[in-house]
Amino acid sequence: MKFSILWVSVLLLWFSGCTIKTYETSEPKIITFKTKKLRFNDLGYIRQNGDALQVELFSAGQAVERFEINHLVCLSDGCMSKSGFNSDYLNAEYPDDTLQNILLGRNIFDGKAMSETDSGFEQYLESESYEITYRVTAEEIYFKDKPNKILIRIKAVKK
């Protein structure tokens, strides 16, 4: 009887699409988020599998927030579109993939105004609704939008 209940449970999970997500990389980082709704500066983990990301933020050793980004942005209180996340947390004028590209250390805004540096690249972007400084090196990802008071900084944890 116990065996059949276990078997039925496994089959239900399999067919319902509930699978445990595995990530190819999981790296500890010192993460700073200063946005309209999110303020954080402590240790976090960035887990990646292709373009799918999970960011888990810790404070004093306790997980305080987790969000996943793939086709949607899912936070502890629910999921929303990337444009919805930008409107609520960043700037509605940003392209949908901006946060995902920042977390992955990729260029933003389709590489507009990008210049290569000895250690990575930089982008300086300006419009009526933003003034962005974005730098990526092996040691740090730095994103700042001065008028919108947004700072995202991701630093490698020194071993």
pLDDT (tens digit, 9 = 90+) per residue, 56-86? 988 877 888 888 999 999 988 899 999 999 9
Query: Predicted confidence band at 52 (pLDDT cuts at 50, 70, 90)?
Result: confident
Q: Which residues contact 52 (CB under 8 A, 6 or more apart)?
A: 21, 23, 68, 69, 70
Q: How many CB atoms lie within 10 A of CB 8?
A: 10
Q: Summarize the confidence of residues 123-142 as an average pLDDT.
A: 97
- Kindly report, residue by residue over 6-17, the tens digit of the pLDDT: 444 444 444 333
The answer on pLDDT for 30 being more than 50 is: yes
Q: Show the tokens assigned to 37.
A: 């709704």
